[in-house]
């Protein structure tokens, strides 16, 4: 038996399921049993807020029932989605109790947890498996959307560091995913809640100003829509018309992109006309009626009915000038279009007997996911490359371009003629030498604009250029270019292989594949292909290995042979001998670093040393040294990953290092910045650094990722204290989400 409190909760969930899940008869027993099971499984668990844990899966199920109503199986899966991860029960238990479908959704949702956190460390095979499981049943990702949304709604109870991580992850991944699935309401709330924790001061400021102007705005909207209502009623239309304020994050993006304050942004709301009709042509008729009342702005007319967005979104967008001279954004759509715009893939279940463009687009996207994962296996993508391709595909707005014959190509915003060429056909892309846009020749790096007619110029003698990889933004172009350059690399490596094998044969040396693999790995090559590729242009590397093998006795192991390649001509048997050798033979340097155990350290003028580029230590860092063959002592930060590996390889080369009190002036320090993409922000930051700290900036690089940018600034600093001060100052700059030290 369950208490009256939970009985009422269950009844409320069932009422929402009956009301909203229209495509199937709701299996209330399934949902009831799932609720009871989850209640029992989590009976001893509490959330960070102190609430019983069951409140979370219950609210996740309620989000699905209200905002993404598909079927009873998805609701039951939402109730159970944390059981496997947080309790003693297994997927096998879920399958036995609730069947295959529920178990697969619960399992998929469990595995997706945390996939985007620290994705560089994720194995590519694991990521591919998870993405494929998502495409096998889209309800998996819908459960995760609901799970993430409820976590965002209750984020106040987590420490700030976790709030920022979850909010950033949501803004980068989950919100764009929701957009791709057409879940407008979910995407909007995710963005606003994430923004609240990433920039609370600005969020509160925009929210306050929207609230202050609500009465004024409502009065203005009412006055604006009165003549529209009158005209549509006289024409006999059945409709709903309303005005709404744009959500906070979209207003923030407008402020950033236009470099204006809140008070300078006028299009803070939109008026939406929803027609109760199955005839989409009536949307155009209503557009004609409204533009008889208000003057339209022609360049701001967008027809997403004839040319739907990739996620199936359909509507007319336009802007008109009100009687008071203000610009007002209008959206005109049918009820079905509205449902699909708000609920995306969930609405497809409701209208599944009709031919829905969105379903076809979604099928195309799922096909793209599978092809991308398949190509990743063939081309040996890193996990970072794979997920970046997904993020790029999620983020991009779309442009519509046409071939000279009128064929439509939908491309991501910022696409170039090279992207367009590969969208036509791989061979067209490979042979591309130029392009004409609306009859005018443009360079291959020129971003295309929506509505352009693009003609690709080709030559049979053309081959892809390396810099094309920096020009293209579409996954197809990137994939085709990567395939081409990998093929070319293999051809060159074959020549290197022939050179190496001839040298082995000439010197009557035999080495099996496993031994050679271990040798090249010791030399820090990724694999034998990389080794052969270098040999093709540098025969000395092959001679070096052959000389080493010839000079070693046959009894020695491959590990000893490999080690000899990286050693000096004579054996270094102890830290003392190595240390003394480098002290004796060192050349003059900028001098003044202390070497020793910290208690009896001494300054050794003239000792040859250098600072490792992998971690770029600066005064104030805890450092350690590694004695190399030709470069003296390499100074690393003590927490550098490479120093750990070096220690494991040969601990006798490790030597304690302390900073000298004088003699060292300026060092290269790097800062990585993540922020909202808007014109001029990088210039603002670099100018602030130069004026405030009077230090020299060596380089500044930035690239955009949807609505955000990531950049690195390399500068000369005196010590860690100064670098940390700069980082702290940048973190407070308007539009900066995060600033941190950059070492690479």
- Catalytic residue list: 85-86
Report whether 177 contacts 98 (CB < 8 A).
no
CA 339/CA 182 separation, integer angstroms: 10
Identify which of 689, 647, 683, 659 has the alpha carbon closest to the alpha carbon of residue 671: 689
CA 464/CA 467 separation, integer angstroms: 9
CA 73/CA 106 separation, integer angstroms: 10
Report whether 668 contacts 716 (CB < 8 A).
yes
Residue 54 CB neighbour total at 10 angstroms: 21
Residue 702 tokens read as 């930035």
CA 85/CA 266 separation, integer angstroms: 48
Q: Which residue has the tokens 């208490």?
A: 3
Residue 89 tokens read as 């029960």
Considering only CA atoms, give the Rg of the chain: 31
CA 718/CA 335 separation, integer angstroms: 64
CA 720/CA 226 separation, integer angstroms: 64
Report whether 238 contacts 245 (CB < 8 A).
no
The rounded Cα 485 to chain-centroid distance in angstroms is 25
β-strand partners of 674:
710, 738
* SS3 category, 362: helix
CA 571/CA 21 separation, integer angstroms: 77
* SS3 category, 326: coil
Report whether 304 contacts 282 (CB < 8 A).
no
How many residues are recorded in the chain? Answer: 744
β-strand partners of 244:
270
Identify which of 426, 423, 448 has the alpha carbon closest to the alpha carbon of residue 435: 448
**CA dist list (Å): 611 to 576, 619, 633, 658:** 22, 11, 8, 13
DSSP strand pairing (316-321 vs 295-296): antiparallel
């Amino acid at each position: 038996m369950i208490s009256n409190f939970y009985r009422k909760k269950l009844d409320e969930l069932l009422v929402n399921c009956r009301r909203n899940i229209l495509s199937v008869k709701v299996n209330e027993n399934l949902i009831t049993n799932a609720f009871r099971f989850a209640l029992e499984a989590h009976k001893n668990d509490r959330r960070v807020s102190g609430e019983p844990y069951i409140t979370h899966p219950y609210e996740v199920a309620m989000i699905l029932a209200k905002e993404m109503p598909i079927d009873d199986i998805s609701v039951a899966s939402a109730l159970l989605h944390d059981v496997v991860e947080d309790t003693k029960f297994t997927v096998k238990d879920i399958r036995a109790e609730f069947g295959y479908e529920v178990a697969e959704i619960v399992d998929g949702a469990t595995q997706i947890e945390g996939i985007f956190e620290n994705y560089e460390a994720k194995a590519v095979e694991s990521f591919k498996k998870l993405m494929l499981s998502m495409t096998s049943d889209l309800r998996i990702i819908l459960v995760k959307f609901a799970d993430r949304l409820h976590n965002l709604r209750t984020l106040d109870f987590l420490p700030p560091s976790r709030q920022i991580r979850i909010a950033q992850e949501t803004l980068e991944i989950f919100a764009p995913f929701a957009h791709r699935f057409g879940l407008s309401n979910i995407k909007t709330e995710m963005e606003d809640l994430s923004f609240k924790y990433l920039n609370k001061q600005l969020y509160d400021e925009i929210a306050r100003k929207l609230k202050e102007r609500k009465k004024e705005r409502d009065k203005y909207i009412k006055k604006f829509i009165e003549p529209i209502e009158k005209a549509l009623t006289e024409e006999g239309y059945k409709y709903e018309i309303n005005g709404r304020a744009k959500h906070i994050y979209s207003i923030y993006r407008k402020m950033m992109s236009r470099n204006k304050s809140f008070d300078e942004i006028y299009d803070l709301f939109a008026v939406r006309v929803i027609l109760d009709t199955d005839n989409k042509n009536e949307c155009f008729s209503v557009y004609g009626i409204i533009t008889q009342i208000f003057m339209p702005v022609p360049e701001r007319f967008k027809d997403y009915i004839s040319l739907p967005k990739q996620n199936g979104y359909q509507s007319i967008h336009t802007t008109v000038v009100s009687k008071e001279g203000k610009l007002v954004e209008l959206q005109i759509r049918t009820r079905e279009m509205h449902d699909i715009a708000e609920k995306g893939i969930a609405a497809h279940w409701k209208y599944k007997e009709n031919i829905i463009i969105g379903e076809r687009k979604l099928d195309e996207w799922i096909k793209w996911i599978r092809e991308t994962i398949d190509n990743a296996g063939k081309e040996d993508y890193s996990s970072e490359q794979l997920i970046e391709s997904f993020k790029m595909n999620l983020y991009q707005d779309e442009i519509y371009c046409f071939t000279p014959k009128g064929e439509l190509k939908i491309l991501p915003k910022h696409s170039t003629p090279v992207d367009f060429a590969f969208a036509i056909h791989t061979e067209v892309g490979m042979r591309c030498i130029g392009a004409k846009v609306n009859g005018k020749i443009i360079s291959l790096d020129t971003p295309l604009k929506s509505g352009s007619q693009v003609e690709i110029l080709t030559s049979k003698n053309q081959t892809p250029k390396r810099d094309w990889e920096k020009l293209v933004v579409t996954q197809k172009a990137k994939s085709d270019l990567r395939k081409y350059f990998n093929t070319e690399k293999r051809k060159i490596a074959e020549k290197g292989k022939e050179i190496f094998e001839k040298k082995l044969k000439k010197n009557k040396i035999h080495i099996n594949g496993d031994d050679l693999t271990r040798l090249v790995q010791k030399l820090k090559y990724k694999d034998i292909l990389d080794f052969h590729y270098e040999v093709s242009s540098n025969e000395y590397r092959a001679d070096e290995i052959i000389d080493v093998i010839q000079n070693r006795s046959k009894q020695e192991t491959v590990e000893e042979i490999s080690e000899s390649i990286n050693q000096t001509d004579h054996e270094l048997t102890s830290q003392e001998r190595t240390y003394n050798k480098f002290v004796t033979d060192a050349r003059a340097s900028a001098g003044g670093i202390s070497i020793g155990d910290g208690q009896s350290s001494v300054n050794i003028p003239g000792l040859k040393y250098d600072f490792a580029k992998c971690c770029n230590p600066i005064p104030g860092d805890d450092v350690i040294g590694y004695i190399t063959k030709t470069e003296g002592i390499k100074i690393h930060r003590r927490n550098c990953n490479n120093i750990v590996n070096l220690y494991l390889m040969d601990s006798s080369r490790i030597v304690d290092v302390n900073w000298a009190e004088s003699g060292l002036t300026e060092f290269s320090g790097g800062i990585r910045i993540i922020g909202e993409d808007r014109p001029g922000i990088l210039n603002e930051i670099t100018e602030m650094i130069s004026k405030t700290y009077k230090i020299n900036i060596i380089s500044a690089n930035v690239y955009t990722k949807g609505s955000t940018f990531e950049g690195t600034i390399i500068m000369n600093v005196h010590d860690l204290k100064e670098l940390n001060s700069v980082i702290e100052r940048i973190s407070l700059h308007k539009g900066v989400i995060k600033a941190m030290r950059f070492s690479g």
